[in-house]
Structure 1
Amino acid sequence: MKKTLVFLLALSIAIFSCGGKTEENHEGHNMEHSSGHESEATPTATSVNNSTSAMIDVYLAVKDALVADDQATAASKSQALVTAIQGFEATSTAEELKGKLLAEAQKLASGDIAAQRESFQALSVSMKELVKMVGTDRTLYQQYCPMYKNNTGGIWLSASEDIKNPLFGSSMLTCGKVEETIAMN
């Protein structure tokens, strides 16, 4: 809430100082700036909107269900994830990733937990690409388990540095390591 208020205050100041002049940027959003130079436009972090936040929230809830070996909760949360992805206003460059996310989230709704975990791993790859492209409202940690899928490895995103492996659940709960930190921007 505090971040939203600070953002709105900064945006109001930018609009006021520019005399209301707007210019369309490459993503289709109105950007406020005084000189007309793209480099002075609001950074990528402004692309993070409530639908991105909601998508990350539900993604993390699905991850937690898989960590707990809870196939039913993972399936029900995946329905909420489908809704959040559908509500995400993708730019033309993110539209393909949105389609991949939607396809994998829909697969999570059915099947046994092993199939859900496979879909979640594919979903995680696209989710990582998306948050790196449009930004994130929180710090996320890309975690990696080298033993997943016959030692070919698999990734997932987490809001915590602590390893809680959704690809194996309780059978190998702490297998993995943090490979990358995706900072809030």
Structure 2
Amino acid sequence: MKKTLLFASLISLALFSCGEKSTNSETQTETHASGDASSASSVSVNSSKSTSGIIDAYLAVKDALVADDAATAAAKSADLVSALKTYDIAGSQANDPEELERLQVEATDFAEKLATADIAAQRESFQALSVVMKDMLKIAGTDRTLYHQYCPMYKGNTGGMWLSANEEIKNPLFGSSMLTCGRVEETLALN
């Protein structure tokens, strides 16, 4: 009896933590609040078309990881590496070009590591890349609103984040095994 109760409690906690949909309207309200961008903080970023290629390539890798497609993620990482390497810091309107250059180099390094066929290694590199990308885009600007999303269950419950062009949670760190685990932490909104 105790084991059954403990198991049921753990399942309930896991479902609540990851924002899984339920038919219970009370649970849906709580789930919606945890994944809803309106409860997230908002950061104003400069509008910039110069980062469009980087963002497009990053989102293509993210979508491949959401679909559990390591081959496509590896292939799309080449586009991301190219976009990062050709990004013109001098031509940008960034207020901190030295920090932007450091982030560009770091992001490129993580993006190059995505070229592996090991999806677990890709996801780990993608999560690290996402942290750098968020900081980079806050300085360089973006051409669209982006959502910083966070899954508390990633990497042994230490958590992991990524950026998305949509509020809806589609988790690239777990893919189909925990597709909707996560919440919007922050919105990068255009000035």
Report the TM range for the smaller structure's normalisation. Answer: 0.7 to 0.9
Q: What RMSD, in angstroms, separates the aligned Cα atoms of the two structures? A: 1.2
Q: Is the 8 A contact 2:68 2:176 kept in 1?
A: yes
Does residue 142 of structure 1 match 2:148?
Answer: yes
Q: Give the deviation of 1:45 after TM superposition.
A: 2.8
2:34 alignment partner in structure 1: none
Give the corresponding residue for 1:120: 126
C-alpha distance in 2, partners of 1:115/1:140?
24
Query: What's the TM-score, normalizing by structure 2?
Result: 0.71
Please give the alpha-carbon distance, in whole angstroms, between the structure 2 residues aligned to 1:95 and 1:57.
Answer: 20
Quote the Cα distance in structure 1 between the aligned partners of 2:172 and 2:190: 23
Contact 2:148–2:188 at 8 Å: present in 1 too? yes
> 1:71-118 CA deviation, whole Å, 9 max, x = no partner?
000000000000000111123230100011000000001140000000
Alpha-carbon separation, structure 2, partners of 1:152 and 1:144? 11
Equivalent position to 2:105, from 99, 105, 114: 99
Relative contact order (C-alpha < 8 Å, sep 6+): which is higher?
A: 2
**1:15-56: CA deviation from partner (whole Å, max 9, x where unpaired):** xxxxxxxxxxxxxxxxxxxxxxxxxxxxx736x233x11000
SS of the aligned residue for 1:130 comes to: helix
Matched residue pairs, number?
140
Instruction: Tell me the residue number matched to 2:72.
Output: 73
Q: Counterpart of 1:45 in structure 2: which amino acid?
A: N
Instruction: Tell me, in whole angstroms, the C-alpha distance in 1 between the residues paired with 2:86 and 2:158.
Output: 33
Counterpart in 2 of 1:62?
Answer: 61
The one-letter amino acid of 1:88's match is Y
Identify the residue that residue 108 of structure 1 maps to in structure 2: 114
- Match for residue 45 of structure 1? 46
Flag structure 2 segments of 5+ consecutive residues without an equivalent: 1-44, 90-96
Conservation of the 8 A alpha-carbon contact between 2:71 and 2:117: no
Q: Which has the higher helix share?
A: 2
Percent identical = 65
Runs of 4+ more than 6 Å apart:
none
Instruction: Quote how far apart the aligned CAs of 1:133 are.
Output: 1.2
**What letter matches 1:112 in structure 2?**
D
